[in-house]
Amino acid sequence: MADKGNILITGAGSGIGRASALRMARGMHVIAADLNVDSAAETVSMIEADGGSARAIKVDVSDKASVTSMKERIEKDVGSIDKAFFAAGIYIRGMVCDIPEDNWDRMMNIHVKGTFLCCQAVLPDMVAANKGVIVNMSSDFAVMAVPAAAAYMAAKSAIYSLTKSIALEFAPHNIRINALGPGPIDTPILQSGRSPQEYEDARLMLADKLPVGRLGQPEEVAAVLDFLLSDRSAYMTGQIVHPNGGQLMW
């Protein structure tokens, strides 16, 4: 379990973000941020039902004013952010010649710009405290190729490079920044844009390809996040860690 303090988690309303919020609430106060604040509030209710402490806040990570407003409200309500997990994301499938420009821009704005803006918002206070840990959300797709995923893969690759750059810049301030690169995880993103039958077919196809023979669960990614946020990973920074069922072995 990570140390005590305040943790900001974006994309906390579902999937890996929600599972991570539930896990980290065992020892930290969670700020559950999401564009869908009702979903974030559901996560908070789950945390509180389990005896944890949390609050929900709405944020559009692709909008600087929204991110700034979130940061100011957090400062007013709970003080500084000690650790952060930036997991907000979407997945829009499409072959290269068929991707509308606005879909491309949306993917880049939410994933890349959103990660940048959120890091930019929390880093000054971490520098002042001379400590902090950030984990960004990348993907196996940052280092592999599959059809109909060019925008998502480009965005996740950018997050990997951004993570390394920020990690190098802020290492002298005792701040660590790593990234998670999950493989196939059974989350709402896997379901997005698919009919129920297409979703089931995708689950079976992916499970059959993985060496472990199954999809991962959000809670398994959250367990790796817990490690990356804790002092057990104190010698790790600028890395992408892949909880992926062995996907990158082929």
Q: What are phi and psi of 89, to 5 degrees?
A: -170, 165
- Three-state DSSP class for residue 49: helix
**Structure-token pair, residue 120:** 């930019």
pLDDT tens per residue, range 17-73? 999 999 999 999 999 999 999 999 999 999 999 999 999 999 999 999 999 999 999
The helix or strand, by DSSP H or E, that contains position 133, with its residue range, turns out to be strand 132-137
**Model pTM?**
0.95
Q: State pLDDT tens for residues 159-205.
A: 999 999 999 999 999 999 999 999 999 998 887 767 888 888 888 99
Domain layout of the chain by residue ranges: 6-249
Active site residues: 152
Q: Which helix (H) or strand (E) holds 128?
A: helix 114-129
Q: 137-172 pLDDT, tens per residue?
A: 999 999 999 899 999 999 999 999 999 999 999 999
Q: What is the mean pLDDT of the chain?
A: 95
pLDDT band, very low/low/confident/very high, at 2 (cuts 50, 70, 90): very low
CA distance 98 to 145: 17
CA dist 54 and 23 (Å) reads 12
Q: Specify the CATH class of 6-249 in words.
A: alpha beta
How many Å apart are CA 129 and CA 219, to the nearest integer? 30
Confidence tier at 3 by pLDDT (50, 70, 90): low
pLDDT at position 214, please? 95
Distance (Å, whole) CA 40 – CA 57: 7
